[in-house]
Amino acid sequence: MKKLQGKTALVTGSSRGVGKIVAEALAKEGCRVFVHGRTLKACESTLALLSAAGVEGKAFAADLNVPADVDRLAAEVTAAGGVDILYNNAAIQCSYNMTISKQDMADWAKVFQTNVFAPIRLTSLLVDDIKKRGWGRIINVTSGIDKAWMQAAYGSSKWALDKWTDDLGAYVAGSGTVVSRIDPGWLRTDLGGPNADNAPETVLPGAMVPVLLASDAPQAQFFRAQDLRDVKL
């Protein structure tokens, strides 16, 4: 029997990049996957991968920069049966090649809405149902970015998400739900850009480690996918 047979996961930002890779990896372990993108059209290629893996996929469209869309996404996921695994992967960034005094606070607000407020709100709406199931996994995708002032909004948003992960771990402790965070590394995705150090596929197998933890594993562990390339799942 596959390790995630009978489980259902929502992977945000799974129409492309890391989210798409994670969605397929979950499917190969027998997991039903809810795919998320800004449009249903954008999700079609991921759904095809899930079908090829022999599992059911369902697409949900939502713009995480719009709070009402986040609430609707949670409601639609709940109406579709809810999830055992929530993989908060979606993120955006804004880059500045100028003095820090020129940074636009509207850009900061947009980054924090997508990277912090959206996953917090989505998790808050789904976590109690996940806890009731007696087995759950919540994974927040973070970043090791540091002292990169041109990416200060992105880096700060990930630090905020890390703090939320710590607090969320305390909330679910003892319920059978395990909260983790993972840094995928600098990858050649749309977000990471063409000059990144690592191919997107190197996020595996590390990205699956927090999903497959034992239910008594420590809460809010921090994993680096690039340090887990040789791990045996």
Average pLDDT of span 151-175: 96
* 107: helix, strand or coil: helix
What is the pTM for the complete model shown? 0.95
Torsion sign, CA atoms 160, 70, 88, 107: negative
Neighbouring-strand partners of residue 178: 137
Which candidate, 130, 220, 123, places its Cα nearest to that of 175?
130
Question: What are the structure tokens assigned to 88, written together?
Answer: 């908060």
Residue 95 confidence (pLDDT) above 80: no
pLDDT at 97: 62
Q: In which residue are the tokens 């050649």 written?
A: 188
Average pLDDT of span 6-34: 97
**From CA 131, how far away is CA 140, in angstroms rounded?**
17
Average pLDDT of span 108-116: 96
Does residue 171 have an active-site annotation? no
Task: Sketch out the chain's domains with CATH numbers.
Answer: 8-228 (3.40.50.720)
**From CA 69, how far away is CA 221, in angstroms rounded?**
29
Residue 220 confidence (pLDDT) above 70: yes
Q: In which residue are the tokens 């933890």 written?
A: 213
Q: Which residue has the higher pLDDT, 70 or 189?
A: 70
Reported as a pLDDT band with limits 50, 70 and 90, residue 200 is confident
Average pLDDT of span 199-219: 94
Give percent above pLDDT 90 in the chain: 80
Which candidate, 206, 164, 166, places its Cα nearest to that of 184?
206
**From CA 85, how far away is CA 32, in angstroms rounded?**
10
Q: Which residue has the higher pLDDT, 72 or 145?
A: 72
| 149 phi and psi angles, rounded to 5 deg | -60, -30
Q: In which residue are the tokens 């090649």 written?
A: 97
Average pLDDT of span 209-224: 98
* 210: helix, strand or coil: coil
Reported as a pLDDT band with limits 50, 70 and 90, residue 102 is confident
pLDDT at 192: 64
pLDDT at 159: 96
Reported as a pLDDT band with limits 50, 70 and 90, residue 44 is very high
Q: Which of 87, 96, 154, 171 is catalytic?
A: 154
Reported as a pLDDT band with limits 50, 70 and 90, residue 98 is low
* 56: helix, strand or coil: coil
Average pLDDT of span 53-80: 97
Average pLDDT of span 215-226: 97
